[in-house]
């Protein structure tokens, strides 16, 4: 029979947090599912990173953006998911320093992912709507600079948003053995919401709606074998249209996986490790596992020997 001490995370320490109760079958099933998602996230994103890095024919502008996104997804699988699994029972055993770093990485990967999605949308918009200017407007050097700036901005943003937790990780903890990450400054919270969700998602949606309209128009023109010399957006290659469709799925999945957490945060103002928001948080993490599966429709076997984009 369990004693009151058995329910505490640290029985020998005053003000210890209590463990979250789960039935054995539920705990085993949850641990298995979450561990499987974590391993798949790491392995699949490693495969994408190795593939793009190894094959020169995959060193295109679009694939560099996918590489950056895969790196941020890999960080989720290596750093974020395992921590959340350990936190499943409601006890934080990793200390204050890791708690502060966990908050920093959480802000970082979300900001980087949104930035990469926005750059992918811009890349597809130019490729589909302005294909004649694509080789001059979108170059490897410019894409590399944009990726570096994205990571730099995201790092600065993450440091600023998590500065309190880095300096004093237990500032919002109610008991010993807890790691609560909150943004209590309403102005900063509103700024973070606008910069990392509302503004980029709105712009991504507008760009891809335009891409979708143009792609449908071009597909109809190709089927009817009609040449539109006066079209504002010249006809793009079939490979570009295919990449646009596939990357459109990536973006739609990102929006679907992200919206519940942001809506939950707005309604309940909960922390990143709040147990009531765990499902929404894991939905964001699950998107990091889904992305490399979608990439497979672009990075197909044998693509190293042909120009796919």
Q: How far from the centroid of its chain's Cα atoms is residue 18's Cα? A: 31
Tell me the C-alpha distance between 256 and 219, whole Å: 27
- pLDDT at res. 174: 81
Nearby residues of 160 by Cβ (< 8 Å), 6 or more positions away: 188
Greater confidence (255 vs 69) lies with 69
Q: Which two tokens stand for residue 190?
A: 């509103």
pTM as predicted: 0.82
Q: What is the pLDDT of residue 169?
A: 78
Q: What are phi and psi of 171, to 5 degrees?
A: -60, -35
Mean pLDDT of 113-126: 91
Q: What Rg, from alpha-carbon coordinates, does the chain have?
A: 22
At residue 6, the pLDDT reads 60
pLDDT score of 37 = 93
Q: What gap in Å lies between CA 248 and CA 133, rounded to an integer?
A: 21
Residues paired with residue 16 on neighbouring β-strands, in sequence order:
176
Per-residue pLDDT at 231: 47
CA 61, CA 123: separation in Å to the nearest integer? 8
- In this prediction, residue 234 carries a pLDDT of 46
Distances (CA, A) of 99 to 8, 92, 138, 176, 181: 19, 8, 40, 12, 8
Domain 23-305 has CATH 3.30.420.40: no
What is the percent of the chain with per-residue pLDDT over 70, rounded to a whole number? Answer: 79
Identify the top-confidence range among 6-15, 75-84, 203-212: 75-84
Q: What is the pLDDT of residues 178-232, one digit of tens each?
A: 887 776 677 887 888 888 888 998 998 888 888 888 877 766 666 665 444 444 4
Query: pLDDT confidence of 57, banded at 50, 70, 90?
Result: confident
Q: In 3-state terms, what secondary structure has residue 11?
A: coil
pLDDT at 68: 94
Q: How distant, in Å, are the alpha carbons of 16, 84, 230 from that of 173?
A: 11, 17, 63
Per-residue pLDDT tens digits for 16-28: 888 777 677 777 8
More confident residue, 5 or 138: 138
**Predicted pLDDT at 308:** 38
The confidence score (pLDDT) of residue 5 equals 54
Structure-block tokens of residue 259: 């919206």
* Residue 159, pLDDT above cutoff 70: yes
The answer to whether 306 and 57 have CB atoms below 8 angstroms apart is yes
Structure token digits, residue 299: 């990075």
HSE-CB of 41 using CA atoms within 13 angstroms? 27
Q: For position 122, what pLDDT does the model report?
A: 93
Q: What is the pLDDT of residue 261?
A: 78
Per-residue pLDDT tens digits for 89-110: 678 888 888 888 888 998 899 8
Task: Write down the pLDDT at residue 239.
Answer: 65
Alpha-carbon distance values, 14 to 5, 17, 54, 148, 169 (Å): 11, 9, 54, 46, 19
State the pLDDT confidence band at 47, using cuts at 50, 70 and 90: very high
Q: Which residues of 181-193 are buried (b: 16+ CB within 10 A; e: fewer)?
A: bbbeeeeebeebe
Q: How far apart are CA 39 and CA 223, in angstroms?
A: 43
Distance separating alpha carbons of residues 304 and 57, to the nearest angstrom: 5
Estimate the share of the chain in helix, then strand, then coil, as percent rounded to the nearest 5: 75, 0, 25
Residue 111, pLDDT above cutoff 80: yes
Predicted local confidence at residue 232, as pLDDT: 45
Ranking 27-36, 102-111, 292-301 by mean pLDDT, the lowest is 292-301
Please report the sign of the dihedral spanned by the C-alpha atoms of residue 257, residue 260, residue 263, residue 267: negative
């Amino acid at each position: 029979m369990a004693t009151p001490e058995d329910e505490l995370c640290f029985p020998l320490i005053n003000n210890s947090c209590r463990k979250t109760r789960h039935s054995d079958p539920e705990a085993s099933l949850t641990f298995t599912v979450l561990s499987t998602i974590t391993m798949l996230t790491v392995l699949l994103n490693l495969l994408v990173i190795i593939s793009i890095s190894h094959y020169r024919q995959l060193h295109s502008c679009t694939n560099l953006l996918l590489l950056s996104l895969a790196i941020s997804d890999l960080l989720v699988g290596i750093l974020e998911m395992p921590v959340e699994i350990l936190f499943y029972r409601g006890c934080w055993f990793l200390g204050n320093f890791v708690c502060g770093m966990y908050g920093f990485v959480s802000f970082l990967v979300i900001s980087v992912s949104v930035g990469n999605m926005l750059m992918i949308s811009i890349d597809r918009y130019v490729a589909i709507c302005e294909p004649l200017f694509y080789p001059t407007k979108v170059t490897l050097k410019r894409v590399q600079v944009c990726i570096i700036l994205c990571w730099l901005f995201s790092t600065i943003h993450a440091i600023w948003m998590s500065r309190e937790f880095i300096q004093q990780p237990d500032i919002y903890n109610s008991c010993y053995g807890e790691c609560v990450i909150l943004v209590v400054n309403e102005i900063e919270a509103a700024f973070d919401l606008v910069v990392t969700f509302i503004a980029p998602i709105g712009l991504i949606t507008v760009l891809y709606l335009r891409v979708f309209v143009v792609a449908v128009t071009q597909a109809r023109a190709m089927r009817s074998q009609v040449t539109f010399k006066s079209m504002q957006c010249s006809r793009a290659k079939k490979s570009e249209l295919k990449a646009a469709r596939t990357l459109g799925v990536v973006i739609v999945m990102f929006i679907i996986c992200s919206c519940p957490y942001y809506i939950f945060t707005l309604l309940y103002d909960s922390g990143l490790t709040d147990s009531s928001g765990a499902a929404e948080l894991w939905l964001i993490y699950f998107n990091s596992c889904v992305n490399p599966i979608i990439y497979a429709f672009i990075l197909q076997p044998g693509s190293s020997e042909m120009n796919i984009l």
